[in-house]
């Protein structure tokens, strides 16, 4: 027996691969500081955990409706309407899924045919390109420009649009760069797309983790809500990565198709986790504010520290919890530098090439770790910088 040919086109998420390598070194007794994985190091808020325990005690352990419980879907619709400042969303537009990735997978499965073109950010979350290739569509990488705060060059974007463009993937705030698309750029993009037969997948999973200016959503511009899928969830905002709880907001004609894919793959999302999600949305939000305040403190420390290392140049991220320094000044490839930092400095990070070919010359550091560990990691990198410093 052989695997299907399509399996040769499916990629991986390197963060988990690097994490395994780091843990193997730890098993040998080496002290590793983990700055590779995008997982908040804060506990899930207590009121959310209490809601899950209560739900278990009350028997929320059976199958639920495939798209999610109606009151939970209504709460999500209300939250999205309020947080994005848009109307026209009801619970019927919402499909609840186990994590954020199914929204990428289901949206692309429902929309793409072989030969359809998908414009997506590069460097960007690797699952975008993986799923485009897996489904036989044509990936059209959109370079993110460091000088523009890792945002799209709109002239280049216009040139990449073609009659075969079927889907555009946006991610703002972005993984791996921490960049954010300016509102004025999204407005111009909306003008380019409004009359086109094209859909947008707007990955807004980091929408609450921003520093200063709040991120805009392309759905806020006329005519774009009915052309857009919003991806969001609970993993980052409420430190619920292991709970596997996410959702998509769809035009209603598309939500029915997503529901069919959901019933064929997962049946439903765990019932008790949905009660926890409801408590997260409707409960106190000070926990989110406190987490973002701490992330800002860590961001400022890691950016300053990286800029003090020979050969490194790091811009200040506008959102998410990643620093994405340009390391071309070291004279080393991103992958070689990733390996050196792990084996010799005991600092686990990711080569920018884990996020696409345009990530070459960069590293990604997750500052979802304590300030103490971040400062120790910076000191370790500084100590081994003689390996490349001229």
- The predicted-structure confidence for 304-315, as pLDDT tens digits, reads as follows 999 999 999 999
**pLDDT of 223 strictly over 90:** yes
Sequence-distant (6+) residues with CB within 8 A of 184 are none
Residue with tokens 């010799």: 344
**pLDDT of 390 strictly over 80:** no
* Beta partners for residue 152, in sequence order: 144
Residue predicted with more confidence, 390 or 75: 75
**Residue 63 carries which DSSP code?**
-
Residues 248/199, Cβ–Cβ less than 8 Å: no
Residues 132/113, Cβ–Cβ less than 8 Å: no
Does CATH place domain 62-282 in 3.40.640.10? yes
Considering the domain 5-44+286-384, what is its CATH architecture? Answer: Alpha-Beta Complex (3.90)
Instruction: Give φ, ψ of 75 to 5 degrees.
Output: -65, -40
Per-residue pLDDT, 14: 80
Q: How many helices, marked H, and strands, marked E, lie in the chain? A: 12, 13
Provide the pairing of β-strand 363-366 with 322-323.
antiparallel
What percent of the chain stands above pLDDT 70? 100
Provide the pairing of β-strand 322-323 with 246-249.
unpaired
Helix pair 286-307, 371-384: axis angle to 10 deg:
10
Cα radius of gyration (the chain): 21
**3 state DSSP class of 134:** helix
pTM: 0.95
Torsion angle of the four alpha carbons 176, 311, 296, 32, in this order, in degrees rounded to the nearest 10: 80
- Render pLDDT for 7-61 as a digit per residue (tens, 0 to 9): 999 988 787 888 888 889 889 999 999 999 888 999 999 999 999 999 999 999 9
Q: How far apart are CA 112 and CA 106, in angstroms?
A: 10
Q: How far apart are CA 91 and CA 70, in angstroms?
A: 7
**Residue 168 carries which DSSP code?**
E
* Beta partners for residue 210, in sequence order: 319
In 3D space, the residue among 274, 205, 259 whose CA is nearest the CA of residue 58 turns out to be: 274
Structural domain spans, the chain? 5-44+286-384, 62-282
């Amino acid at each position: 027996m052989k695997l299907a040919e399509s399996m040769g086109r499916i990629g991986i998420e390197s963060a988990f691969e690097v994490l395994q390598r780091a843990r193997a070194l730890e098993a040998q007794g080496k002290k590793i500081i983990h700055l590779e994985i995008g997982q908040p190091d804060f506990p899930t808020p207590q009121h959310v955990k209490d809601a899950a325990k209560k739900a278990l005690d009350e028997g929320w352990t059976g199958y639920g409706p495939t798209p999610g419980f109606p009151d939970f879907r209504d709460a999500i619709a209300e939250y999205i309407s309020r947080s994005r400042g848009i109307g026209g969303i009801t619970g019927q537009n919402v499909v609840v899924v186990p994590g954020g990735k199914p929204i990428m997978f289901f949206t692309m499965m429902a929309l793409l045919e072989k030969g359809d073109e998908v414009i997506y950010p590069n460097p960007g979350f690797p699952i975008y390109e993986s799923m485009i290739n897996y489904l036989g569509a044509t990936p059209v990488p959109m370079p993110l420009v460091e000088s523009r705060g890792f945002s799209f060059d709109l002239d280049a974007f216009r040139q990449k649009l073609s009659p075969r463009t079927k889907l555009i993937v946006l991610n703002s705030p972005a993984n791996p760069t921490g960049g954010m698309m300016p509102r004025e750029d999204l407005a111009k993009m909306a003008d380019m797309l409004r009359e086109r037969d094209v859909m947008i997948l707007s990955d807004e999973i980091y929408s609450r983790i921003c520093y200063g200016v709040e991120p805009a959503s392309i759905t806020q511009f006329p005519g774009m809500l009915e052309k857009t899928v919003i991806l969001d969830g609970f993993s980052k905002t409420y430190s619920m990565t292991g709970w596997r709880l996410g959702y998509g907001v769809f035009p209603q004609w598309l939500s029915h198709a997503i529901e069919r894919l959901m019933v064929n793959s997962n049946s439903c999302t765990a019932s008790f986790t949905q009660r926890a999600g409801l408590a997260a949305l409707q409960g106190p939000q000070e926990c989110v504010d406190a987490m973002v305040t701490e992330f800002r403190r860590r961001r400022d420390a890691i950016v300053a520290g990286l800029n003090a290392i020979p050969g490194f140049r790091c811009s200040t991220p506008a959102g998410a919890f990643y620093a994405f320094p340009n390391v071309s000044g070291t004279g080393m490839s991103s992958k070689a530098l990733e390996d050196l930092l792990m084996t010799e400095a005991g600092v686990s990070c990711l080569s920018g090439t884990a996020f696409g070919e345009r990530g070459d010359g960069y590293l990604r550091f997750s500052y979802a770790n304590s300030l103490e560990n971040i400062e120790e990691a910076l000191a370790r990198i500084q100590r081994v910088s003689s390996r490349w410093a001229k």
